Structure 1
Amino acid sequence: MRYLLIHAQFGIVLLSLSITGGASAQTSDTLFFSLDMNNPISEGWLEPDSEMVGIRGDQPPLNWGTTYSAFDDDKDGVYEVAVPFNLNADSLLISFKIKVDGAHNPDDGWQAGRNHDVTIYKGMENKLSIAWEDRPPQPPVTITGNLEIVRDFQGENLLPRDLFIYLPPGYEESDQHYPVLYMHDGRALFDASDIGQEWKVDEAAEELIQSGDIEPVIIVGIGNTQDRIDEYTPSKQVWRHELERVSPAQAPSFPGAYAGDYKSTEGDTIRFRTKADTLYAMIPGGDFWQSLILKARHNFYLPQAGITFGFSLSDGKVDKLIASKPSIGGKGDMYGAFILNKVKPFIDQNFRTKQGKEFTALGGSSLGGLITLYLGLNHPDVFSKLLVVSPSVWWDGRMIIDEVKQLPGTTGQHIWLDMGTAEGEGAVDNAKALHRALAEKGWSARNLKFIIEEGAAHNERAWAKRVPDMLRFLFATEN
């Protein structure tokens, strides 16, 4: 069955929230979080009765798109949650942040600063206590080689962002011109001191260039902004589903009149039940109940996912349901024009580049992988090589696969496509479907490299391990 409700930033995921709190299946690999939220409560912006507190992170069942909810059962300002992990080794390194789901919160409810890191160990009791105001220690600067930074680079109708420009060894001493790799999420490529993790692109490039494995190359990291989701998505995702009641109401009065099962035209069922005058929902494929907030007559809100449930009546009985979320995304073409008309001309004018398409590559991960493939396929006259790393194929009903299917044939571009097996529900299947679509259009092993990395998660550490092979694929020296 296709999961209906939660299309998060890194894929289709299921919320995990129970009425009584905690995880449904605690194992020896469980990490018990205690989150001290007394500061934001005393500051007045966290509303415990209407907002959800929890964890987001980079290892399943955590992800960066959906909050894994915690609970403050004794109302002391300390929220607790047990997160069960699946360890395939003796230990697992997890990056995470506290997240508050609500409206008008500082930094959209994200804990400030870099990501926190914690290592859990198999067969041991893993506990972590952290306060909202806690910050991880400042890691050292890890820049290797010659990196120039252009601050607040301007683009029309887009927010300014930094450009991070890696120059190969010997650049200053020569008059040579170089191929260029443009990459999204530039802040995460070269220096772990900023966000806590990095791709280690500079370290890999330095070693491979000096060993002669790849030709010298300029690498341009284009920083993201708070509009990352909009800029990295080619289409506006309209999220609205109609469902009809398929079971009787729990009670004739509020809130039992809304309770029962509702089925969509796609065959997915959402269940509702009540407890202590609160309405709870169970999403398709899930086994946890999530509490809803009454926002208006017949309208309830699920803060963890930003979903509004609007119930409609017929003859005084609740018989239909509209599940909706605000539309997001769709600035991909505008962002592409920024790269083509602003970033690339600036780089070509100020650095010694080889400007032909055969010398120009584009790359990124997650939504950055999605926008890389979209822009690359639409501009094969500019980019001949594409790094499509852990792409968010799930976006807008897998629209990127439809884009490929509409091609008259292969563009002849060289494409690297990969995915880790620990990147979330359906990620590998989506990557395989994208690979099949490309192969059916004429790509072959000669110009399409497809990697499924066993045990790899959706984070910079996993991508850093694959960077040397990515650079060899794009810029290997001729033997």
Structure 2
Amino acid sequence: MKFLAASLALALGAPVPTIAAELPVAATYAMPETETWDMTSAAGRTYRIFVSRPSGEAPEGGFPVLYILDGNAMFAGFAEARRIQGFGGRDLDKMIVVGIGHPGDQVYDPRRMEDFTAPVTSPALKQLYAKYPSGGRDAFRDFLLGELKPAIAKRYAVHPVRQSLYGHSLGGLFALHLFYSHPGAFDTIVAASPSIWWDDQAILTEEAAWRTRAEKDGKAARRTRMLLIAGEFETEGSIAQDSAALAARLAPLSSAGLRSEFLLLDGETHVTVPHRSITATMRAVMRWP
């Protein structure tokens, strides 16, 4: 009857009566099987920690853990993908997803640039990003490895080795930094759309130093798996090209035991890569041994 009355009113040119007052009061949606809290690092920086965890008992040895950088932007997609995989029959839901973000509602908080980068040396980049701090990579790394990971281990039944890290864009650059500088800190590193271009490709110096170690000692190559992901249309900063070139440089190290893979997502841009990369990331996390 209400629909009929509204249609008749439109036909006669009369005002349409509002029914908004009869709608239920909206409430904030809480994603099932998740929780969040704020955590202040030893360096005095506050992070918002998002956790998605299975409701059942942990498997023998504990749940695998996937740490997600840029948690404000990325966590929800990964959390719901994890939960719905319970219907897939491949146990991709049997992991804990930990998003690392910042307090507030911004999708990408400007503080991420400080967390994910080393001190900038390029004069042009310094001028371009003069309003934003950078160079806090070491402090964030210490928080992630020395404070957050132990806190998660105390709170949940997690596997001590089956722990992975996902980073996109500058987060992907940070993921590469950990891959080169702290082999074994994570079982699997997923670097999606890594900003290899940043600061005149300064990350290549770290890669060269890591390669020298890996060629001399196969243990450095075997300690962490690498999944590189890029979008077909990521021309900004030559991200797709740089990622493919890195994959080609890593491939020969398979003879030293390195397990690396490159996934080029057709039709995707820098903004759309994260959504398409979720399932591939979850599969990489669950590979064992």
Q: TM-score range by the shorter chain?
A: 0.7 to 0.9
**Is 1:221 equivalent to 2:88 in the alignment?**
no
**Aligned residue identity for 2:263:** I
- Give the aligned CA root-mean-square deviation in angstroms: 3.1
Matches within 5 A, 1:138-287: 144-151=31-38, 153-171=39-57, 177-191=62-76, 200-215=77-92, 216-224=94-102, 225-233=109-117, 235-240=118-123
User: In 2, distance between residues paired with 1:306 and 1:227?
Assistant: 16
8 A Cα contact 2:69 2:171, kept in partner: yes
8 A Cα contact 1:237 1:330, kept in partner: yes
Shift of 1:422: 2.2
Structure 1 match to 2:6: none
Shift of 1:176: 7.2
Shift of 1:369: 0.7
Given the superposition, is the C-alpha separation of residues 203 and 236 from structure 1 closer, same or farther in structure 2, using an over 3 Å criterion? same
SS state of the match for residue 411, structure 1? helix
8 A Cα contact 2:233 2:267, kept in partner: yes
User: In 1, distance between residues paired with 2:40 and 2:203?
Assistant: 28
User: In 1, distance between residues paired with 2:28 and 2:249?
Assistant: 41
User: In 1, distance between residues paired with 2:265 and 2:281?
Assistant: 13
Structure 2 match to 1:348: 153
User: In 2, distance between residues paired with 1:398 and 1:376?
Assistant: 16
User: In 2, distance between residues paired with 1:142 and 1:388?
Assistant: 31
**Is 1:406 equivalent to 2:187 in the alignment?**
no
Shift of 1:306: 8.0
8 A Cα contact 1:239 1:327, kept in partner: no
Shift of 1:473: 1.8
Shift of 1:238: 2.1
Shift of 1:208: 2.8
Shift of 1:330: 1.9
SS state of the match for residue 455, structure 1? coil
Matches within 5 A, 1:319-468: 329-356=134-161, 359-407=162-210, 408-409=213-214, 410-412=220-222, 413-425=224-236, 426-442=238-254, 447-459=259-271, 461-468=272-279
**Aligned residue identity for 2:83:** E
User: In 1, distance between residues paired with 2:256 and 2:275?
Assistant: 25
Q: How many residues in Structure 1 have an aligned counterpart in Structure 2? A: 248
Structure 2 match to 1:61: none
Structure 2 match to 1:474: 285
Length-normalised TM-score, structure 1: 0.47
8 A Cα contact 1:362 1:376, kept in partner: no
User: In 1, distance between residues paired with 2:60 and 2:254?
Assistant: 39
- Aligned identity (percent) is 25
- Structure 1: which 5+ residue stretches go unaligned? 1-138, 192-199, 242-304, 309-323
8 A Cα contact 2:191 2:229, kept in partner: yes
SS state of the match for residue 237, structure 1? coil
User: In 2, distance between residues paired with 1:143 and 1:389?
Assistant: 28
SS state of the match for residue 221, structure 2? coil
Given the superposition, is the C-alpha separation of residues 422 and 228 from structure 1 closer, same or farther in structure 2, using an over 3 Å criterion? same
Deviations 1:301-359 (A, max 9, x none): xxxx9849xxxxxxxxxxxxxxx968952211110000111111111111111113xx1
8 A Cα contact 1:214 1:476, kept in partner: no
8 A Cα contact 2:122 2:200, kept in partner: no
8 A Cα contact 1:238 1:326, kept in partner: no
**Aligned residue identity for 2:37:** V
More helix by share: 2
8 A Cα contact 1:180 1:218, kept in partner: yes
More strand by share: 1
8 A Cα contact 1:365 1:391, kept in partner: yes
Shift of 1:164: 0.2
Given the superposition, is the C-alpha separation of residues 148 and 325 from structure 1 closer, same or farther in structure 2, using an over 3 Å criterion? closer
User: In 1, distance between residues paired with 2:148 and 2:52?
Assistant: 14
Shift of 1:140: 9.4
